[in-house]
Chains A and B, each alone.
Chain A
């Protein structure tokens, strides 16, 4: 034990110092570093290739740094993706907001203002989170065509909003379950009805859960491809479809492809890097863990 606590490094939160030798630490660190390099390979390729001029984006110089750093790949990628980026933004933001609001209301009721059968309804909601969306796609498409709603961004906004309700409900329900019931009771004794309790007791403390759901919904709507190919046409393609078209075409040089992939991923990556804590919580909720 004395040896282990002497290695100054093992001061993790919670005092988990016991049982680790200095050599063990070094071995672990080296293994982690090796894995980190493997994880970074694709990111290296993306950035380095993206900065190469067209003439250098060849097989022979695949892994080398650019001899001249060039912005031509980025300019071309921006040209190819700008309308998709705008479409993605106009889909992801409203659908994130609406599903978060609905999720908050549902979560409150299912955690703190329950009705008979609430558990069954909740389970039925949760199943909606796991279904393969292929199982609703053909009818959804037929319905939207039948209603004359195909064409713009509406189908995609609708789909992301509706199919985002389950996870938002789950996140808010687990979050609200941690609000002390006595607080809710106190509001009731004071004569507050449901809406008033929700607005004055629950909503003011909901900011973290809103952050988690908004980030989660934004990310999954932004990264979606399946709904997009089934429900949108060329004028309303989001960035994932445009990226796939750029990369799927044999004539587009690699520097443009890689720059396009980075450009399409930038918004969600920035959100992740800035708000990683909330992003994590959303991931955990996806595993049904509060």
Chain B
């Protein structure tokens, strides 16, 4: 299918009624044939060229510029930068703030990705066979996706208020009210599990999305496959484990990529809940502080480069794999 445009030769840019005349031409030379082919696809390239230009400049040009900045010693906005190699990249690890921010982002990512995957998968599983009120459940679980992380942060900051039991608000107050005082905790301000608590609002927001992905995946598995397994004596749970879930690996992969790339660059949610408090510091917040408070472009660009690198590490293989697979399936 991909070669189809080449077959029809020179009609690409012709007005109506010009095509029949072309058919009567003498046998073309190879050069002429190439030219004619180019006349077919060239308009396509032209139509895409504004976007190629924009993406070229604003994605790849800016990434190049940013990398350049990260490799320089432009540590003040008005200063000229000299090339210093990887010095900034190494220096970051020698301070206290950066490794702590990376650690926080890792904890957040593990809890958020794991939690959203599990909850989304569970919701998908519960809804898969159809249940009374399914559309209502689906709409409800997916609704947080329509809201900004800032709005989510506003309400969750209130819910996860760490004030002690005697003047507790939010979830702590609810725990006290139901005599579950042992559940009262410091939420995101706790030194040992704070970032795990910080992942709760993100799980709340994204679980519905993962549910929708899994639900589409579950329902894409042909009923005959399930039926065949049942005839072979599989329990309903066995059908899921041995027949349905193995078919869902691509869905799982997509879900991990989406959650993972969101999680590594998490910013809005942290700002809305914790502001710039160091206990909840993550690389994206650190970078923001470098730009607006410390005003150190080279250092900000270095952090941004690390973020890009972390995301690219798993997104590039995924994209190449997806586009190739699609091509081989003859899309």
Q: Which residues of A contact B (CB under 8 A)?
A: 9-20, 25, 28-29, 31-32, 35-36, 39-43, 45-46, 49, 59, 62-63, 102, 105-106, 108-110, 113-116, 118-119, 121-128, 130-143, 162-163, 165-166, 169, 177, 181, 185, 188-196, 198, 219, 222-226, 229-230, 240, 243-244, 247-248, 254, 257-258, 260-262, 264-265, 268-269, 271-273, 276, 279-280, 283-284, 286-289
Contact = CB atoms under 8 A, between A and B. Distances in A.
B188 interface: no
A194 B141 contact: no
B311 A219 contact: no
B161 to A, nearest CB: 8
A20 B44 contact: no
Contacts of A141: 291
Interface in B268-307: 268, 271-272, 275, 284, 287-288, 291, 297, 300-301, 303-305, 307
B147 to A, nearest CB: 5
A244 B132 CA distance: 39
28 contacts: A20-B236, A32-B123, A39-B141, A45-B155, A45-B170, A62-B174, A63-B174, A102-B51, A106-B51, A109-B44, A123-B319, A127-B312, A138-B300, A138-B301, A138-B304, A165-B55, A185-B4, A194-B44, A223-B150, A225-B271, A244-B154, A258-B155, A262-B151, A265-B148, A283-B209, A283-B212, A284-B216, A287-B258
Contact of A193 (B13, B52, B142): B13
B255 A138 contact: no
A116 B128 CA distance: 42
A16 B128 contact: yes
Contacts of B287: 134
Given A10-B129, A62-B173, A185-B8, A127 B44 contact: no
A222 B150 CA distance: 11
| A interface SS class | helix
A266 to B, nearest CB: 10
B304 A137 contact: yes
Contacts of A224: 148
Given A192-B16, A280-B142, A138 B69 contact: yes
Contacts of B212: 280, 283-284
Nearest to B63: A135
A77 to B, nearest CB: 11
B204 A257 contact: no
Given A125-B51, A193-B12, A264-B150, A287 B307 contact: no
A138 B291 contact: yes
Interface of B: 1-2, 4-5, 8, 11-19, 41-45, 47-48, 50-52, 54-55, 58-63, 65-66, 69, 119, 123, 126-134, 137, 139-159, 163, 167-170, 173-174, 177, 204, 209, 212-213, 216, 219, 223, 226-227, 230, 236, 239, 251, 254-255, 257-258, 261, 264-265, 267-268, 271-272, 275, 284, 287-288, 291, 297, 300-301, 303-305, 307-308, 311-312, 315-316, 319-320, 322-323, 327, 331
A108 B47 CA distance: 9
A136 B272 contact: no
A99 to B, nearest CB: 9
Contact of B230 (A19, A185, A265): A19
Contact of A127 (B61, B128, B149, B315): B315
Kindly list the 3 A-B residue pairs having the minimum CB-CB distance in the complex, ordered from nearest: A12-B130, A223-B148, A136-B62
Nearest to A194: B43
A165 B169 CA distance: 44
Contacts of A189: 8, 11, 19
A181 B1 contact: yes
A48 B129 CA distance: 35
A135 B55 contact: no
Contacts of A169: 51
A12 B135 CA distance: 11
Contacts of A59: 163, 167-169, 173
B14 A222 contact: no
B149 A223 contact: yes
A169 B12 CA distance: 22
Residue from A31, A32, A35 whose CB has the most chain B CB atoms within 10 Å: A32
A135 B152 CA distance: 25
A19 B140 CA distance: 26
A60 to B, nearest CB: 8
B284 A138 contact: no
Contacts of B42: 115
Nearest to B149: A225
B11 A193 contact: yes
Contacts of B213: 284, 287, 289
Contact of B151 (A29, A105, A243): A243
Residue from A109, A166, A177, A240 whose CB has the most chain B CB atoms within 10 Å: A109
A12 B158 CA distance: 39
Contacts of B142: 272, 276, 280, 283
Contact of B154 (A196, A260, A279): A260
